[in-house]
Amino acid sequence: MEKFSNLKGLVAPLDRANVDTDAIIPKQFLKSINRSGFGKNLFDEWRYLDNGEPEMDITKRKPNPDFVLNQARYQGAEILLTRTNFGCGSSREHAVWALQDYGFRVIIAPSFADIFFNNSFKVGLLSIVLSVSIVDRMFQEVYESEGYSLEVNLDCQTVTTSGGESYAFDIDPFRKSNLLNGLDEIGLTLQHMDLIKAFEEKHRINQPWLFK
């Protein structure tokens, strides 16, 4: 996993609640056996007017001018601001890969669906929960001022506006350290191989029917 470093990034607003992973990356793109290349199909059904299929030439597609990410002022956005229960639905990690591949590094919402939230930390996308009222205010500000950006400092666990207002967010220490250090979680777990083996032996004695 790549290290997460602090960033000051342009914010794009996605003013919908319950954005599901089918909307983030539609199923036809899940047929890929690769981890990369999903960014061009992020929010495909909202972003384009034609029906997207894998391996389509992106330059020949018709972007939907009404969709927020197609507006000039949000090009290059690295922070997505959105509403409650972001990432609900399917467990597809492709949703996280697509957001990341598109260029997002941080998602801010009042709440996230459990599996999406969990998946995001596994690959270095930072999901930040802020209260409904703070998110409301940020929506207002992002609409009002073009070029609206936020500074995210993971070390200090703060999101700071260009006006200097700073909001604290929670993150559990294990996830934080993995993100900050870009750690390989499998490698970390395998350092406890002895513990796993010891547990497995005990488990085999208690519930032998679980083992062949």
Report, in Å, the least distance between residue 96 CB and other proteins.
7
Does 18 contact other proteins by CB under 8 A?
yes
Query: According to CB under 8 A, which one of 41, 111, 127, 149 is a site residue for other proteins?
Result: 111
Report, in Å, the least distance between residue 11 CB and other proteins.
18
User: Which of the stretches 56-64, 73-81, 151-159, 192-200 binds other proteins when contact is defined by CB under 8 A?
Assistant: 192-200
Integer angstrom CA distances of residue 75 from 1, 117, 138: 25, 25, 18
User: Which of the stretches 6-14, 145-153, 161-169, 171-179 binds other proteins when contact is defined by CB under 8 A?
Assistant: 171-179
Encode 89-115 in three state secondary structure. CCCCCHHHHHHHHHCCCEEEECCECHH
Write out the DSSP string of 17-79.
Answer: SS-BHHHHS-GGGGG--SSS--GGGTTHHHHBSSPP-TT--GGGS-B-TTSGGGSGGGTT--E
Query: According to CB under 8 A, which one of 41, 69, 80, 90 is a site residue for other proteins?
Result: 90
Q: Report the alpha-carbon distance of residue 127 to residue 48 in Å, rounded.
A: 26
In the complex, the residues that contact other proteins under the rule CB under 8 A are 15-18, 20, 22-23, 26-28, 30-35, 45, 51, 54-55, 83-85, 88-94, 96, 111, 113-115, 118-119, 122-123, 172-174, 184-186, 189-190, 192, 195-196, 199-200, 203, 206-212
